[in-house]
Amino acid sequence: MTVVMEKPEKTEAAEPAAPAKSVRKVSRPVMIGAILVVWLVLFALLRGKQTLSLAVADLTDLHRWINDFNDSIGANRNSNPLFLYFFNEIRLVIDNLVTFVQHLISQPSGARPVPEIGWLGVVGLAGFVSWAVGNWKVALLAVAGFTFFGLQGLWQESMDTLALILCAVFVALLFAIPLGVWAGLSDRFNRLMTPFLDLMQTMPTMVYLAPLTLFFLIGGASATIATVIYAAPPTIRITAHAIRNVSRTTVEAADSLGATRRQSLLKVLLPMSKRTVVMGVNQTIMAALAMVTIAALINAPGLGVNVLQALQSLDVGTAFNAGLAIVIMAIVLDRVTTAASAREEHARNSKNRFEKWRRPLLGAGAVVTVILIYLSRTYLWAADFPGDGTVGSHIASATDTAATWVQDNLSGLTNAFRDAITNGLLNPFQTLLTDSPWWLVGAVLVALAVVLGGWKSGITTAVCVGLLVATGVWSDAMTTMASTIVATVLVMILGIVFGVWMGRSMTADRMIRPTLDAAQVMPPFVYLVPFLALFGPTRFTAIVAAIVYGAPVAMKIIADGIRAVPATTVEAATSAGCNTWQIITKVQLPMSRSALTLATNQGLIYVLSMVVVGGLVGAGALGYDVVAGFSQGELYGKGLAAGLAIVLLGVMFDRITQAAARRAGA
């Protein structure tokens, strides 16, 4: 038996407890600095060892296996049941749809010398539809924009681009809206869809093309399918968001009145979500325009062909003329769908005395449109756009003259700027990435991911690094990473400067935001044109284009973050004697760190997309590998591996910055 004896109670006062030792937590900036210092020390010791460099023409076993796989698919395309009864049938349906729309509004290749609806009918139809879904202002914009395509001498190419957009958006919405509704109604399905949507939106446009040509060949079908995949996620996400944001009390009221799930969906959820869903359609149309232009790489017809050929021949004037047509089409489609989303609210709040005459006037407009379509089917002058594209020739000539003047008179300034960024930032960082041992770069990336985003981000980064090594294009991936990170740093500098200004001044916001809105409707393809004139075909051209492409979204996010800082906090800092610089650096920016991290995330994704497209103008690395894979059959495997490497970089950047944004907002 064990006897437990109690300790006698002490009569004296208890001794005070020893103070707990304070453990000072190491801050993230200090940890990041330590990682970088260790990297630099090891780089100095191990430079040039185990770098996994690969000559441009060299192929790995993976690349050769992909080439053989591609050849075997080509040899068995018409005998393999999977192709005969699945892939070939999908391609046939899409081809027929695209051909039908092309023959409807553009010049067909058959015996009939004119399209079913000539230019006059298309212009009238565009104006009427814009008026019906929007207002008379956007109708005038549509008429002016479509007429300008003809004056540029690009009517046929513009209609081919429009046909691809219409087909892709139609097919995308057939899937996207039902999937968005399902994701809005089901938390489980929404969680299932989110990783796929993240991946689809992280992948740059060019990456979609190579794998699809493997199954659907080059041409309009592959371009349309790639566009559907790329353009559908915005509508899915925004539709789900709209369904989830419908007032719960409204839904409960419908349920209490005995409405079934179908009735609740059709009579309550969808009508109350209509405006937001139309905004999603707007984003899908913009994404479709961006994709169908870059799809010229796989022989898709339209304006993208003009831009691609002009970029390859360094013909700045022709590229600018075609790029201008793409921008005008983007502006017209954006304004029409934006007006459509606000149509009901405008009609409800409008005090315009002509609003009551809208239906009769629309009826008259429909009659006029039918007459214009009839004329375009009957008379050659109304079918083929008159003129020889003199306006477009003048635009191209003026652009060439301006480009020559810039190169002759500003080359000293532009070259100095290019050399400063290249020699001061890009070359040293690229050398650090490409000349470090691959395992050292991988370890640094994983360590930074853990510090910034946590262990999950570290695991994702480790997997991505391993797969990057397996692709056989490690050196090119590091070159692309160097350009992406340098461009992102410059994007964030611009984003912070202008974002803080916009966030603190509504006047500045009203002045700058329209320019940012206009910049965001331009497809990435078009950004290369003016910078090609300024800097020539170099990797720096792609970096500057990427900065201009990524800066608008960063500026907007940072401006919104600065504006969200409570006014009472700013007033308290002011009353404590802080000056403007102290308020910005000590109050507003620290309290906006979540917005800053999100801006970095979006800036990285935008920049990566543009840096890859820059392979068309001498940027080299992964972008060049992808482009070379389309044009040279023996490099198809390497191009596909480069596309996979781009995806891995995008996923790695996205996961790290998203996790860091969540930590910053916690």
- Report how far apart the first and last C-alpha atoms of the chain are (Å, whole number): 56
CB 149, CB 328: distance < 8 Å: yes
Q: Give the confidence band of 1 by pLDDT, cuts at 50, 70, 90.
A: very low
Pair of tokens at residue 57: 């023409």
- How far apart CA 119 and CA 89 sit, in angstroms, is 32
* CA distances from residue 493 to 481, 558, 562, 606 in whole angstroms, order as listed: 18, 11, 15, 15
Structural element, H or E, at residue 488:
helix 474-504
Burial class (CB in 10 A: 0-12, 13-18, 19+), 645: buried
Q: Which value, in Å, is the radius of gyration of the alpha carbons in the chain? A: 29
Residue 203 above 80 pLDDT? no
> Nearest Cα to 453, choosing from 629, 658, 272?
658
CA distance 559 to 144: 34
Q: 330: closest CA among 299, 297, 285, 363?
A: 285
> pLDDT at residue 456 above 60?
yes
Q: Mean pLDDT across the chain, nearest whole number?
A: 84
**Residue 402 confidence (pLDDT):** 86
pLDDT surpasses 70 at 206: yes
Alpha-helical (H) ranges within 379-437 are: 380-383, 390-409, 411-421, 427-435
Tokens of 132: 């019906």
- pLDDT one-digit tens code per residue, 174-196: 999 999 989 888 889 988 888 88
403-439: pLDDT as tens digits: 888 878 887 888 888 888 888 888 999 999 999 999 9
- Which pLDDT score is estimated for 169? 92
Q: Which residues contact 272 (CB under 8 A, 6 or more apart)?
A: 246, 247, 250
Reading the block at residue 278, the tokens are 């139309």
Q: What is the pTM of this model?
A: 0.81
What's the pLDDT tens digit per position in 326-382? 889 988 988 888 888 776 666 555 555 556 677 788 888 899 999 999 998 888 888
Model pLDDT for residues 563-600, shown as the tens digit of each residue: 888 888 888 988 888 888 999 988 899 888 888 888 88
Per-residue pLDDT, 344: 62
Burial class (CB in 10 A: 0-12, 13-18, 19+), 132: middle
Please report the domains of the chain, with CATH numbers, ordered by start residue: 410-437+475-666 (1.10.3720.10)
What pLDDT sits at residue 111?
41
CA atoms within 13 A on the CB side of 316: 22
Average pLDDT over residues 77-106: 86
Spatial contact of 607 and 491, defined as CB atoms under 8 Å apart: yes
